[in-house]
Structure formats: C-alpha cells, structure tokens
Structure 1
Amino acid sequence: MSVIAVLVSSSLIGFYRLSVYLYRSQSFSSTFLNFREIIMSNMSIESISSCEIAGNSNYGLLKPKSPDLSQKSEVVCSFNFKEAVPGVCFVITGVILKTCERFSINLVSTGHKQDIALHLNPRLPQNYIVRNSKINGSWGTEETCSQYSSHYDLFRGHKFSIEILITESEFMLSINNRHFGSYAHRVPFRKINGIEVKGDIKEVAIDQLYRDKYPEVPTQDILSYDETLRDDVKFVVPYIANIPGGFTRNKSIHIIGRVKMLPHSIAFNLQQSPFFWPHPTVPLHVNPRFGGGKHIICRNTWKNGKWMKEERTDISSRDLSPGREFHLVIECDFDCYHIHLNDQEFAKYMFRCDDNATKIVDTLNIAGDVVLKKVYLQTRIYD
C-alpha cells in the first residue's frame, strides 16, 4: 500500500507541475483543445453495415441526462402543412448565435397527443447531434453521433443549412449540403403536419420542396494513380465518385487509408448511382466491422429492395485494425470480384446481379471510420 501511495502521490505532483507550467506559458487551454480534437477526430462517426446505414451509436459518457430541447424553450420559427408524403423535404436555414449551446428542430403531430416524430438537436459543447422521438409524452431512446464530420460542422456565429427528407421508412438528414445520416420512423410519417425550430439561433427560415433523389451529390470522377500524386488532392469521407465507363473486367480500384482509432465499421460500395434514396442497387458491399472485440469483413449485395445473404470472414489484426494503414484492391473479373488486402487475395465474391453486374456499377461510395490517403482506378491492358 505504501508503494501505491508513493506512486499516486508522485503522479499527482507531476501533473500539478505540468499544469502550472502550461498555465504560466498560457498554453494550457490550447493544449487541452488540441488534445480533445485528436481524440474526437479518431472516434467513430457513424456505423454502416449491411443491415443499416446508421449514425446511431450511443456514447453514454457524452450524453446528458436531461432531454431538454434547448437552452431556450420558445419557438423561433414554425410552419404547418397538410400532409407529409415521401419526397417532401424541409430546408431549415439560419445563423447560430455566438452564445449558442444547442438548438432543436422538431417534426410534430399537432393533434391531441402532439407527438414529436423527429427531434433533431445539435449540441455544440458536446459536439454531436441527438435524434429522438417523443410519443405519448415520453421520450424514446436517443440516437447520437460522436462528432460531426468536418463537412457537417456547425459553428457559432455562422450560417447553417439543415435538410430533412421524408422517405417511406426514415428521415434522411443533410447538414450544410452533405448527407449526415438517417433516422427510422417511430411515428407514422403521414401524421406529421408541423415543424418547429427552437433554441439559440436567429434569422431562421423554413422552405418546403419536393425531391425525387437524395442527396445533392457533387460530381467528381475517380482519379488515376498519377492524379493522386498532386499536392492539392484531398480525400474526404464520405467519398463518392463516378467510375467513367463503368467497373468492367479490365479495371481495379485501389484504396489506401488508415482505420480510425476507435472504429465501428467501414463501408466500400460499388453501386448504381451516387444517391442514397431511392436506395441504389449495390452489386458489391465490402464492410469491415470492429465491434464486440471480433473483427470481420462482410460482403453482400443489395438488389430488389433488400440485402441478400452475407458472406463473413474473420480478419487478423495484421490485416486491418484500429490505427493501422491498409491497401485494399477490388478487381473485376468475368464472373466475380477479387478482393485483395495488403497484397494478398482476401476473398472472391461471385456476381449476384447476373450479367448486368459490370454494366450497372458506375459509382464508388466509401463511408465510415476511415482516413483516406489515396483512391484511384487502374486500367489493365490485356494482350
């Protein structure tokens, strides 16, 4: 016990001296913030698997106990409509106050029960967004995201744009013109007839429009190897790129990156069209998963409105693990895809879309807990 006490005491003294030094050098605050940014940037952003496109991971240490909608309870802006149908989209714009702690957007049923079908609640100090529903006066289970992607950031004193699209099964959410995630319906969407905005924001406007596709995807073509060598090339996640001419037998896709330190999953999709809704056909879905202490890679196909039977393989920590760099290659053959991981063939995945597999793939979609270094298309010339 005396040895433990000495160790604890010396550790506290060392921490105190470090704190005093940082304080005196006026760098404690910035050092702490930099440390926080490093930790948060390595946390899981969203969970993506063959069964779900999520953003639904719960981080109990970050979640406050109170379900309060915002620091201010008054309605800043509201809008009523007759009926919600798939394809109806609401675009909420405004300016975040410099003193903002949180604000909320609620899609509500304005009848006797006044249920909240969607409670979208950005909380700036915690740096995540809560999604929830209130049914018969009771809150459900919160869905949270550990952090925003750099493209979804909401800044105090800056303008914002949040888009909420109603589909048959879920809400699709976009923040600052980038897809953020989805939220499955807990209240029948046809009962929704109002939207309310509350909290620490100003100059709020609500626009209603109709979409037949979602989201608005920026157009870019997948690069060649030589193009990736340019100094100005940066790869952001989610990464969505066109594959010129389709993904045919003479082509292979190379993905070089690093798994984040606290990952949940990654998704590499070869799909038809860059849109999330209506759900595209996905001839190949490669899905590394890291939850539960066991690492696996799943392969699957989405067609005719559903996922097919998964193929699963365990992966070793040498091949794909938190913090480790990897090189994934997907090569198209006559009747299958060859999947290589770190210079070794990992799996062979037979086509499940009949003869159209090579013809319909026109998009590469990468999402999840990965930092991308290079993504390029290689074309092989056969004799």
Structure 2
Amino acid sequence: MQEYTYKNGVQTCEDTVTSAPSVPVFRQDLEAPLAVGSHVVFSGTPADDVQREVNGQLHVNFSNWQARFLLTCRGGHAPSVRRSPRLYPCRVTFNIGAGDDVAVHVDARLPQRCVVRNTRRRGAWGPQETAAFRPFPFASGRPFVVEALVGENDTLWAVDGLHYCEYAHRNPSPLAAAPGSGAAAAPLWLELIGARDVSIDVRRGEEYPKLAPPWPEVPSRRDLEAPASRDEPSWPPNARALLPQGVPPEHQLVVKGRLRALLHSFRVELTTGCQEWPRPDVALHFELRAYFESYRPRQLVVLNSRSDGAWGEERRQRSAAMIPSTNVNYILIVTIA
C-alpha cells in the first residue's frame, strides 16, 4: 500500500483554528451519542472570501488565511509593506468533540498540502499524524464531500468517495458518550470550520465509503506480453478492482507496477469486497515489508488470510530481492480448491 506523508513543514498551531470570529464556523450538537458504525458526512467548499471591515479598514484573519505581502522601496524612503488583495484559504477543519475536548481533529492545510489529525484533552494537544493513502485531495474553491466512519478502534476518513486515512481512537474517544463505554457521558458535537455552503449529516452506516465510484474490473489478456486493450482502466496508486468471476482455472493473476524510490512496503489482497468497512474477509494477503530489517539482502514477504475479522497465522519468508525505482511483475498463482 502506497503511503503519502507530509510531515515536513507542518506547524503545531491547532489552537489558532477558532481564534478569529471571521472564520466561518458551523457547529452541530448531537442528540444521540455516536456508536460503532455511525456515518458522518461533511460537505462544503473551502471559503475564499473571508474578510471583515473594522472602522473602514480591511482586516484579514491570518490564523485561517494566508495573504500575499509585497516589499517595496522608493528612493531613499524606508521599505513599506503592502498586501495584495488576493486571499488564499489556508485550512478546513473537521472536529468531533466530546464535552470541552476534541476527540477527533482533522485539519486540511492547503499551503502545506497535508491533512493533520490530532486529539485535544484538557486543553493540551497530542502528537500529530499526517500519513495518508492518497495525495492531498482539497483545493481552493472546489466542493468536497468528506465521510467519517466511526469504528471500534479507529475513525475512517474518505474524501469524495475515496478512502484517505484512518485515525486510531485516543482519550477521549468519539465513543466516549456511548452507553456502556465505561466513561462518564460527555455531550458530543460536530464542527466544520473554514468552509461555506456547509451541511453535516449523521446516520447509521451500512458500508464505507458510501460514495465510492464504481470499481473497475480486472481485464483478461491472452498472455503476459499481450498489449492492453483500449478499454482497460488507468490504474492509480492504491488501486482496487473487481473479479466478478474470481480467477478462472488455468489463469494467473498478474500485478505490474513500478517500485517507489524509497521502498517501504506494499501489499496485494484478494478480498470478498472492495469496501473499507465492514472489513471484508481476505482470502489471500500478500505483503512485502522492505522496512523490516532492511539491511538484509532479501526483503520479507508475509502471507496470511482473515476470516470474520480474525487474522490467521502469518507465513514469513525472505524471498524477495526488490530494487527500488524499477518495474516489477508479480504473478500470483491462485489454486481453487
């Protein structure tokens, strides 16, 4: 699985998110607590026109917006700074709160092109998380639909129908007010900051991502060297596809790709569904873990399967000798019992 990380250049400045009244804030109190399977849908557009006028002067909220400054020097006069009239939206923030705390804080920062996740408890922020499964999905002026699925141990986040990241529950958890959680009930609320045309919908989820596009089918070729047909899809990183008839007898599943320059890991799975939740059964889990004891001449390959949410016993072997930044072919021979 390809993983994107945007750790460099990320500032620890969550406390400035709600510091200025000019930032649009949409908050919704929850009448019923969140539970496992709760599905929250945020929609809106990153606001690009937030400004306010005080005593005839234009003031820009710099906690949520970035303005361009120009340095000018005329003759022997001291340099002067003037602001360009164009405003740049800096962040869109999604919060799941529990009482006075923030159980899940998801902050999309447009200048750094990263999405930061965190939790605030008793006024103190924890360590940030920034790794994601896809490139940065937000853009100024472009509408978005963000899905959040509350699981037993984590919260899953999708943008425009594609899974983006997951965030393990901390203290407090978004399930803090759920019956039987073992903790004192805390009123929950949802918040979306820095967007316009906002809507928030909460319901029971049956599948996540609910807004996922139709998945393509794995094409069939005569042999390994046969050229691709015109109707074959263009495969993005972290691709998913359907095998409506499974792997036919006397056929092989071939995966082609190019390894990353900084090879960490990747996996190929045959599952009973393309959704992220409920977790599908995994008939075959093939994972190359190049990060584990990377000094050794061959990389670790792990084989496993998952049924009813439980993983079996791993089979490990050091049989891969992958070279970063090279093209590879993986041939998975699937035997139907």
> Same fold by TM (over 0.5)?
yes
2:97 to 108, 124, 130: 108
Which residue in 1 is equivalent to 2:77? none
**Conserved 8 A contact 1:115-1:135:** yes
Structure-2 change in CA distance of 1:255 and 1:122 (3 Å): same
Residue deviations 1:204-236, cap 9 Å, x none?
A: 221222211112342321111268332773111
Which residue in 1 is equivalent to 2:120? 134
Structure-2 change in CA distance of 1:62 and 1:291 (3 Å): farther
Which residue in 1 is equivalent to 2:323? 321
**Conserved 8 A contact 2:2-2:266:** no
Instruction: Please tell me the residue identity of whatever aligns with 2:14.
Output: P
Residue deviations 1:272-313, cap 9 Å, x none?
A: 111111111102111112325613222111123222222223
Which residue in 2 is equivalent to 1:224? 220
**Between 80-89 and 221-230, the greater mean CA deviation after superposition:** 221-230
Which residue in 2 is equivalent to 1:352? none
Distance 2:153 2:133 in 1: 25
**Between 118-127 and 201-210, the greater mean CA deviation after superposition:** 201-210
Which residue in 2 is equivalent to 1:309? 313
Structure 2 runs not aligned, ≥5 long: 49-87, 178-187
Secondary structure of 1:132's match?
Answer: strand
5 Å matches for 1:102-181? 102-110=91-99, 114-145=100-131, 148-149=134-135, 153-181=137-165
Residue deviations 1:184-220, cap 9 Å, x none?
A: 1113333352111123x22222122221111234232
Structure-2 change in CA distance of 1:302 and 1:62 (3 Å): farther
Verify: 1:197 aligned to 2:199, yes or no. Answer: no
Structure-2 change in CA distance of 1:315 and 1:261 (3 Å): farther
Verify: 1:210 aligned to 2:204, yes or no. Answer: yes
**Conserved 8 A contact 1:117-1:133:** yes
TM superposition score normalised by structure 1: 0.65
**Between 238-247 and 277-286, the greater mean CA deviation after superposition:** 238-247
Distance 1:92 1:252 in 2: 42
**Conserved 8 A contact 2:153-2:169:** yes
Distance 2:326 2:19 in 1: 44
**Conserved 8 A contact 1:121-1:130:** yes
Instruction: Please tell me the residue identity of whatever aligns with 1:78.
Output: R
Instruction: Please tell me the residue identity of whatever aligns with 1:253.
Output: L
Secondary structure of 2:128's match?
Answer: coil
**Conserved 8 A contact 2:216-2:233:** no
Secondary structure of 1:174's match?
Answer: strand
**Conserved 8 A contact 2:133-2:238:** no
Residue deviations 1:306-338, cap 9 Å, x none?
A: 22222223355xx42321110001111255xxx
2:334 to 332, 338, 361: 332
Structure-2 change in CA distance of 1:231 and 1:282 (3 Å): closer
Q: After TM superposition, give the deviation of residue 249 of structure 1 in Å.
A: 4.1
Which residue in 2 is equivalent to 1:63? 10
Distance 2:37 2:161 in 1: 17
Structure-2 change in CA distance of 1:189 and 1:153 (3 Å): closer
**Conserved 8 A contact 1:85-1:166:** yes
Q: After TM superposition, give the deviation of residue 260 of structure 1 in Å.
A: 1.7
Instruction: Please tell me the residue identity of whatever aligns with 1:304.
Output: D
Residue deviations 1:126-179, cap 9 Å, x none?
A: 111111111222211211126843xx6211111111111112221111111111
Q: Alpha carbon RMSD of aligned pairs, Å? A: 2.5
Compare the two structures and name the one with the higher helix fraction.
1
Which residue in 1 is equivalent to 2:273? 273
Instruction: Please tell me the residue identity of whatever aligns with 1:88.
Output: S
Distance 2:140 2:18 in 1: 15
**Conserved 8 A contact 1:128-1:147:** no
TM superposition score normalised by structure 2: 0.73
Q: After TM superposition, give the deviation of residue 90 of structure 1 in Å.
A: 1.3
